[in-house]
Amino acid sequence: MEHSRQRCSRERDRISDLPDDLLHGILSHLRSFPAAVRTSALSRRWRRVWASLPDLVLPNDLNHDGASSFLDIVDDALASYTADPSVHLRRLEISVPYECENVPARRLSAWLLFASRRLAGELDLLVPISLLSAHKPPPGEIELPPLERATSMSLVLGHRFLIRPPPAGVFAALVDMEIRLATMDARALEVLVSSQCPRLQNLSLLFFRLVNDSDVSISSASLRRLRFYGLNTRHLNVAAPNLQELRVSLLGEVHVAAPNLAELASDNIGHFVFAEAVRNLRRLEAADWSAMAPLMRRFDTVDELRLHADVPHKYKDQSLELVPNKLTIRNDGPSMDEEDKHWSMITHGGDGIKHLRIEDDATSGDFRTLKPP
């Protein structure tokens, strides 16, 4: 009996004989970084398996011991990966909890530096807006190194940080970039997008601030989709020959040179200036009802038109010379009566409308698909 136990103790357990790829799959289904670390107790073979996972996800509910503990856990996790230079991540996700009201900029800079060395895939870094403190310190400065092998980068920084892009280097593989709730210098932003991201296709700059009220110019031969919601951008200039989708929210003028544009959405559509003729749009979405008619004259065809507006009676007689195939009206004002549904703008050339949809906020989300008159 004793001999049998000794023989079993010398034998390797079957789980430890599994290849690393399969063990990584098992750990990924735990969906918990601490749980993955605790698997080190299973056997000597498992002690470092968690530190070679291709996906490192550190969620904001990682611990309940306070903000400093979370930051330490992140630092320790990244240090464990740093210990083995052969390990590279395909995904790094860090979601800072709300309790971390004063995240030091140097910590975020260190995390980004780690990503520049070890990441060959997706980066998601989320720092929430501080809700627990009325005092808002000036934004800390974080250094953004060139992430040469990152394919996707999302930085959501809670209006707490000023991003300093690298003075040199490129994001050679970057296809998708989102910067939200952050501050940047206008010229640095222009260089980052126009010169340092040669493969960038999808760009989202959302609810971000410039250091000073400034104009912004974006020039990119690779860009296909742009979402731009600037809080203090005066004017936006876009030169992107392959741009297909543009969504903009700002008060100033928008100059567009994008001959292949297919989808356009803005809450200030009347301030758009097109440097080149865009003849056909797949979709046009706007809130400026009065500016719609003159804008529509620029196009030969608009397949789908979506209007988000408070529809007062003064616009009741508006007409569109160019009638879309699909028309959706989102009424954010008083409920429309039956006689209001078929305004002259709809009946004027109404035979061309194949699909008409009324979305009425005033009647608790009463969505009506109507047959054109």
Give the pLDDT confidence of 176-209 residue by residue, as tens digits. 999 999 999 999 999 999 999 999 999 999 999 9
pLDDT confidence of residue 133: 47
pLDDT of residue 340: 53
- The confidence score (pLDDT) of residue 240 equals 97
Across the range 79-86, mean pLDDT stands at 74
Tokens of 17: 């004989």
Higher pLDDT, 274 or 246: 246
Mean pLDDT score, 298-305: 82
- Over range 293-299, report the average pLDDT: 74
Q: Is the pTM of this model over 0.85?
A: no
3-state DSSP of the chain: CHHHHHHHHHCCCCHHHCCHHHHHHHHHCCCCHHHHHHHHHCCHHHCCCHHHCCEEEECCCCCCCCHHHHHHHHHHHHHHHHCCCCCCEEEEEEECCCCCCCCCHHHHHHHHHHHHHHEEEEEEEECCCCCCCCCCCCCEEEECCCCCCCCEEEEECCCCEEEECCCCCCCCCCCEEEEECCEECHHHHHHHHHHCCCCCCEEEEEEEEECCCEEEEEECCCCCEEEEEECCEEEEEEECCCCCEEEEECCCCEEEECCCCCEEEECCHHHEEECCCCCEEEEEEECCCCCHHHHHCCCCEEEEEEEEECCCHHHCCCCCCCCCCEEEEEECCCCCCHHHCCCHHHHCCHHHCCEEEEEEHHHCCEEEEECCC
The larger pLDDT score, comparing residue 258 to residue 1, is at 258
**pLDDT value of residue 222:** 98
Mean pLDDT comparison of 221-225, 289-293, 324-328, 342-346, highest-scoring range: 221-225
Tally the residues of the chain.
373
* Structure confidence at residue 236 (pLDDT): 97
Average pLDDT over the chain reads: 78
